[in-house]
Amino acid sequence: MNFIADTGFIVARWSKDKLRRDWAARRWEKAALPVLTSAANLQEAGWLLGNHEIILRMVVDGDLHPILDFEKESHRLHELAAQYQPRMDMADAAIVRLSEMYPHHTVLTVDREDFTIYRRNQTQALPCDFGPKMKS
Protein backbone atom coordinates (compact mmCIF):
# COMPACT_ATOMS: atom_id res chain seq x y z
CA MET A 1 0.00 0.00 0.00
CA ASN A 2 1.12 3.56 -0.68
CA PHE A 3 1.37 5.78 2.37
CA ILE A 4 2.37 9.28 3.44
CA ALA A 5 3.82 9.41 6.97
CA ASP A 6 2.85 12.22 9.29
CA THR A 7 4.99 12.85 12.36
CA GLY A 8 2.65 11.01 14.73
CA PHE A 9 2.85 7.83 12.68
CA ILE A 10 6.65 7.93 12.65
CA VAL A 11 6.71 8.46 16.43
CA ALA A 12 4.08 5.74 16.99
CA ARG A 13 6.64 3.13 15.96
CA TRP A 14 8.25 3.67 19.38
CA SER A 15 5.12 4.55 21.36
CA LYS A 16 4.70 3.35 24.93
CA ASP A 17 1.05 2.73 24.03
CA LYS A 18 0.91 -0.88 22.78
CA LEU A 19 -2.18 -0.32 20.59
CA ARG A 20 -0.55 2.60 18.82
CA ARG A 21 2.80 0.82 18.46
CA ASP A 22 1.08 -2.29 17.05
CA TRP A 23 -0.96 -0.17 14.63
CA ALA A 24 2.23 1.44 13.33
CA ALA A 25 3.96 -1.94 13.00
CA ARG A 26 1.06 -3.36 10.97
CA ARG A 27 1.14 -0.39 8.60
CA TRP A 28 4.90 -0.73 8.10
CA GLU A 29 4.34 -4.40 7.16
CA LYS A 30 1.76 -3.40 4.52
CA ALA A 31 3.67 -0.39 3.17
CA ALA A 32 5.22 -0.15 -0.25
CA LEU A 33 8.57 1.25 0.83
CA PRO A 34 9.72 3.89 1.04
CA VAL A 35 6.87 5.71 2.77
CA LEU A 36 6.71 9.35 1.66
CA THR A 37 7.15 12.19 4.15
CA SER A 38 8.89 15.56 4.46
CA ALA A 39 12.00 16.88 6.17
CA ALA A 40 9.77 18.89 8.52
CA ASN A 41 8.06 15.71 9.71
CA LEU A 42 11.40 13.97 10.21
CA GLN A 43 12.69 16.90 12.26
CA GLU A 44 9.54 17.00 14.37
CA ALA A 45 9.62 13.22 14.95
CA GLY A 46 13.27 13.31 15.98
CA TRP A 47 12.57 16.13 18.39
CA LEU A 48 9.54 14.36 19.92
CA LEU A 49 11.48 11.13 20.34
CA GLY A 50 14.62 12.89 21.53
CA ASN A 51 16.50 10.79 19.00
CA HIS A 52 17.35 12.06 15.52
CA GLU A 53 19.68 9.15 14.74
CA ILE A 54 16.85 6.62 14.62
CA ILE A 55 14.82 8.85 12.30
CA LEU A 56 17.77 9.35 9.95
CA ARG A 57 18.40 5.59 10.08
CA MET A 58 14.89 5.07 8.67
CA VAL A 59 15.80 7.29 5.72
CA VAL A 60 19.16 5.59 5.18
CA ASP A 61 17.49 2.16 5.36
CA GLY A 62 14.90 3.19 2.75
CA ASP A 63 11.87 3.07 5.04
CA LEU A 64 11.10 6.79 4.72
CA HIS A 65 11.62 9.14 1.79
CA PRO A 66 11.52 12.90 2.50
CA ILE A 67 10.35 13.78 -0.99
CA LEU A 68 8.81 17.24 -0.63
CA ASP A 69 10.92 20.05 -2.13
CA PHE A 70 10.17 23.01 0.17
CA GLU A 71 11.69 25.56 -2.20
CA LYS A 72 9.64 24.37 -5.16
CA GLU A 73 6.45 24.02 -3.09
CA SER A 74 6.87 27.16 -0.95
CA HIS A 75 3.99 29.09 -2.52
CA ARG A 76 1.47 26.27 -1.99
CA LEU A 77 2.78 25.57 1.52
CA HIS A 78 2.37 29.27 2.34
CA GLU A 79 -1.19 29.25 0.95
CA LEU A 80 -2.09 26.28 3.15
CA ALA A 81 -0.49 27.78 6.26
CA ALA A 82 -2.29 31.09 5.68
CA GLN A 83 -5.62 29.36 5.07
CA TYR A 84 -5.44 27.34 8.29
CA GLN A 85 -3.53 29.72 10.55
CA PRO A 86 -2.86 29.45 13.42
CA ARG A 87 -3.75 25.72 13.46
CA MET A 88 -1.42 24.48 10.74
CA ASP A 89 2.32 24.17 11.20
CA MET A 90 4.86 23.52 8.45
CA ALA A 91 4.85 19.75 9.00
CA ASP A 92 1.05 19.58 8.61
CA ALA A 93 1.19 21.77 5.50
CA ALA A 94 3.79 19.41 4.04
CA ILE A 95 1.51 16.39 4.57
CA VAL A 96 -1.47 18.13 2.99
CA ARG A 97 0.70 19.13 0.01
CA LEU A 98 2.03 15.59 -0.37
CA SER A 99 -1.57 14.34 -0.36
CA GLU A 100 -2.35 16.77 -3.18
CA MET A 101 0.66 15.55 -5.14
CA TYR A 102 0.03 11.85 -4.44
CA PRO A 103 -3.76 11.54 -4.30
CA HIS A 104 -3.78 7.73 -4.21
CA HIS A 105 -1.63 7.57 -1.06
CA THR A 106 -3.20 7.25 2.39
CA VAL A 107 -1.98 9.59 5.12
CA LEU A 108 -0.91 7.74 8.26
CA THR A 109 -1.44 10.03 11.22
CA VAL A 110 -2.64 10.05 14.81
CA ASP A 111 -3.72 13.70 14.53
CA ARG A 112 -7.46 13.23 14.06
CA GLU A 113 -8.23 16.72 15.41
CA ASP A 114 -6.38 18.54 12.62
CA PHE A 115 -6.51 16.14 9.69
CA THR A 116 -10.31 15.87 9.75
CA ILE A 117 -10.38 19.64 9.19
CA TYR A 118 -7.66 20.05 6.55
CA ARG A 119 -8.61 19.76 2.88
CA ARG A 120 -6.48 19.06 -0.14
CA ASN A 121 -7.22 21.00 -3.31
CA GLN A 122 -9.48 23.27 -1.22
CA THR A 123 -12.43 20.86 -0.87
CA GLN A 124 -11.30 17.23 -0.65
CA ALA A 125 -10.90 15.38 2.61
CA LEU A 126 -7.55 13.67 2.93
CA PRO A 127 -7.64 9.86 2.90
CA CYS A 128 -6.33 9.11 6.39
CA ASP A 129 -5.71 6.12 8.59
CA PHE A 130 -5.79 7.63 12.08
CA GLY A 131 -4.81 4.69 14.18
CA PRO A 132 -6.03 4.13 17.73
CA LYS A 133 -6.49 6.89 20.26
CA MET A 134 -4.01 6.99 23.14
CA LYS A 135 -5.13 5.48 26.43
CA SER A 136 -5.70 8.05 29.14
Helices (H), 61-115: 74-83, 90-101, 112-115
What confidence category does residue 133 fall into, taking pLDDT thresholds of 50, 70 and 90? confident
Q: How far apart are CA 87 and CA 82, in angstroms?
A: 10
Q: How far apart are CA 110 and CA 23, in angstroms?
A: 10
> Does 83 score more than 80 pLDDT?
yes
Q: How far apart are CA 134 and CA 136, in angstroms?
A: 6
Residue 24 inside a domain? The answer is yes
What confidence category does residue 3 fall into, taking pLDDT thresholds of 50, 70 and 90? very high
Structural domain including 88 reads 3-129
Number of compact structural domains in the chain = 1
What value does the mean pLDDT take over residues 30-34?
A: 96
> Does 21 score more than 90 pLDDT?
yes
Residue 62 inside a domain? The answer is yes
Residue 136 inside a domain? The answer is no
pLDDT value for 135 = 62
Residue 134 inside a domain? The answer is no
Compute CA distances 68 → 28, 56, 129, whole Å: 20, 16, 20
Q: Which of 131, 41, 52 is nearest to 90 (CA)?
A: 41
> Does 132 score more than 90 pLDDT?
no
What confidence category does residue 136 fall into, taking pLDDT thresholds of 50, 70 and 90? low
**Which CATH number do you get for residue 43?**
3.40.50.1010
pLDDT value for 61 = 97
> Does 52 score more than 70 pLDDT?
yes
What value does the mean pLDDT take over residues 91-109?
A: 98
Q: How far apart are CA 44 and CA 103, in angstroms?
A: 24
